[in-house]
Amino acid sequence: MTVHTATAAAVDPAVLAVLGEAFASGFFEAPEAPALNRMARGARRHLEGADLAPWDGAPLYPAGPHSVWQQGAAVSFHYSHSLVWDRGALDRLAQAHPEAAATLTAATRFLTDYPMVGTAIPPEFRLGGAGFTHSIPHIGRVCREGLSGYEERLAGHLATALRRGDEPRVRFCQALQDVLAGIATWHRRSCEQLRAASATGAAEGLRQRLLAALDQVPMAPARSFYEAVVATNLIFYLDGCDSLGRVDQDLNEYLEADLAAGRIDLDEAVALVRLLWQNVDANSGWNVALGGSTAAGEPADNVLTRVCLRAARGLRRPNLALRLRRDSAEETWDLALDTIASGCGLPALYNDEAYLAALRQAHLNLRPDDIAHFAFGGCTETMVHGRSNVGSLDAGLNLPYHLSRVLTAQLATAPDFAALMAAYQDEIRTAVARLAAGVCADQESKARCQPQPLRSLWIDDCLDSGTEYNAGGARYNWSVINVGGLANVADSLAAVRTLVYERAEVTGAQLLAALQADFADAEPLRRRLASCPRFGNDDPRADDLAAAVAAGVFTELRRYAPWRGGRFLPACLMFVTYADAGSGVMATPDGRAAGAPIADSAGPVQGRDRSGPTAMLRSVTRIQQDLAPGTLVVNIRFGREAFATPAARGRLKQLIRTYFDLGGMQLQVNVVDQEVLRQALAHPEQYADLVVRIGGYSEYFTRLSPALQRSLLERTEHQA
């Protein structure tokens, strides 16, 4: 890399090392080297001296809240954003160490001008993310081959590149060798710390067992279920505590072999997996996909699928995503409902057949033997386990914001509803073009300046192709784009059509004035707007508008291709962002006040579905969901009585199956009583462990903002 090399050359890496800035020290060691080599050297130097987690007597290491990468340094590495830095922390270092002023000033100057992830995306399109990238390491391959197998492959590629004089490939191999050297040092230091730990009795037995496992994994192949879980846990921490993907497919062979040999029983397996899940939870890690289909097209739910479900009861994370088929085992269904009934909002439920069909028709060039390995990163962004680089979320469209722009410019003068709709469609076309250009610019910048050496190591096919992860080295590349506020727009358009153009009860100019005044002195008008058709009640007057708007947005997004390759896949993943998404949007014709939250998912606005769960789900299936395989999150809430008896559970199961038969692709269920939420709002100190399902994952209720807490109270509580 040649950008800013003169400034970088003025940075003394030895000074940064003395100040405890190990990653920055490595990054500035070779100013003329390509960005990948600099990032890899930074990662190596960090791992060589990173703080290690203390051993707390657990059968897994590390355990509990611990970041391998974010350890208080001013310059550090992140699994999505690569190089990140804290200007204030650098300034404080300069004040505390005047002798290092020249180096710190040069480093600050360099980093100020360095292209950071997401900055190329216009602020209006940062709904839920800006260049964010979750990912899933190919942990099953690490368990089967060991990192020693990766070293051998890398050495072979390096020898070939040297023989051919292929300098870029040589540099690539050297960068990944740096990363592996750093991992090996970190692993050795971890083992030394465990050997030095004192333990007695049962704890000593756990320590010896853990040490024996770490003497094998992850450098050599796993030989047992315990070793495979130890390796999975360790890679989870090394990767930065992101997503684990299809754990049940990666590790089931080890579990079944140990069960058959009598080396473990199911209760022990559940306890071990629960420890892994607790580590994911403690570090706010992300997604695990379960079940679904095998590459041969058979049901993939297995013994470990059911162990994983049992182990998750009552936990907040990982964000379990259960892929269900028409022929999934009844035991899997029942265990899923048991876990949901524990109140944790896990697992979210996915229509496997619908996802497979949608991905096939999305023109992603998925190999027949790879498509079954689709999984989810982060909240629920669709990707391929161990084989993909998916922008998730790369950017987002705030549909109410764009509607407000159109209403401001057109509502007072639009001659009819068709003209208003045409203006909104034009606005969306312009917005999507700008969004796509921003994402493409950001992806190009990431490939040039913000490479990912770790993910280039454990995502197929980067290592074997010699192409860095952010430069398109993964086998599959695409971009998931957030689409928020669909229900607000559908309800708003239905209200405008009804009151302005059909009944002529108010003029467009009068309505616009009321919106701009946030309904001041216009409460009767706001109530009339609220009485108009609402999406989520099986009313075609609103549902058809939602379907039309969605189809227009989804189709427009699919007209563009990201810089790195693949397609833009629409999604609706509002997680905790739907409150902030409404903060800059004026009042809308659905009766929503200025600054109020927008819809929390692809379903109806919270509290507006008043005709029962069947009507709500029928409304949602009017949207052509297969055009948005990035995942359209749909929230539904039931009281605990829906799970109380076999008959009630049978009705709930049939409701979900019918929804899937109608084309629904994803459903996540909240099980919490209204009175409990009210008490938690009034006495948060008594409900520290209350878990609720928010837009795309589960979260502790007391961690949510007041606006989000109130929005959960507004959700309709259905009966099955």
DSSP 361: T
Shared-domain flag, residues 268 and 341: yes
Domain ends where: 99, 120, 141?
120
The closest of 669, 546, 537, 558 to 609, measured between CA atoms, is 537
In a domain, 531, yes or no: yes
Shared-domain flag, residues 372 and 394: no
Q: With 0-12 CB in 10 A as exposed, 13-18 as middle and 19+ as buried, what is 482?
A: buried
Domain ends where: 120, 143, 178?
120
pLDDT of residue 606: 87
Shared-domain flag, residues 371 and 399: no
pLDDT of residue 684: 78
Shared-domain flag, residues 9 and 112: yes
State how far the alpha carbon of 502 is from the alpha carbons of 185, 466, 498, 513, in Å. 72, 62, 5, 19
Shared-domain flag, residues 268 and 316: yes
Residues of the chain short of pLDDT 50, as ranges, are 1-2
User: For the segment 3-19, what is each residue's pLDDT rounded down to a tens digit?
Assistant: 566 788 899 999 999 99
Shared-domain flag, residues 342 and 397: no
SS (H, E, C) 470-484: HHCCCCEEEEEEEEE
CA distance 2 to 485: 43
In a domain, 217, yes or no: no
Single-letter residue type at 514: A
Shared-domain flag, residues 65 and 116: yes
Three-state secondary-structure class, residue 136: coil
pLDDT of residue 694: 66
Q: Are the C-beta atoms of residues 296 and 261 closer than 8 Å to each other?
A: no
User: For the segment 466-483, what is each residue's pLDDT rounded down to a tens digit?
Assistant: 999 999 999 999 999 999
Q: With 0-12 CB in 10 A as exposed, 13-18 as middle and 19+ as buried, what is 639?
A: middle
Shared-domain flag, residues 597 and 680: no
In a domain, 184, yes or no: no
In a domain, 628, yes or no: no
In a domain, 198, yes or no: no
Shared-domain flag, residues 361 and 417: no
Count of the separate structural domains present in the chain: 3
Single pTM value for the model? 0.94
Shared-domain flag, residues 405 and 325: no
Which domain range does residue 71 map to?
Answer: 5-120
State how far the alpha carbon of 353 is from the alpha carbons of 179, 358, 396, 669, in Å. 39, 9, 27, 20
Q: Are the C-beta atoms of residues 306 and 317 closer than 8 Å to each other?
A: no
pLDDT of residue 620: 97
Shared-domain flag, residues 571 and 702: no
User: For the segment 133-178, what is each residue's pLDDT rounded down to a tens digit?
Assistant: 999 999 999 999 999 999 999 999 999 999 999 999 999 999 999 9
Domain ends where: 120, 140, 171?
120
Residue 305, token pair as written in the block: 């699928």
In a domain, 195, yes or no: no
Shared-domain flag, residues 526 and 442: yes
In a domain, 499, yes or no: yes
pLDDT of residue 714: 66
In a domain, 146, yes or no: no
Name all contacts of 361-365 with Cβ < 8 Å and 24+ positions apart.
361/626, 362/558, 362/567, 362/569, 362/629, 363/567, 364/476, 364/478, 364/566, 364/567, 365/476
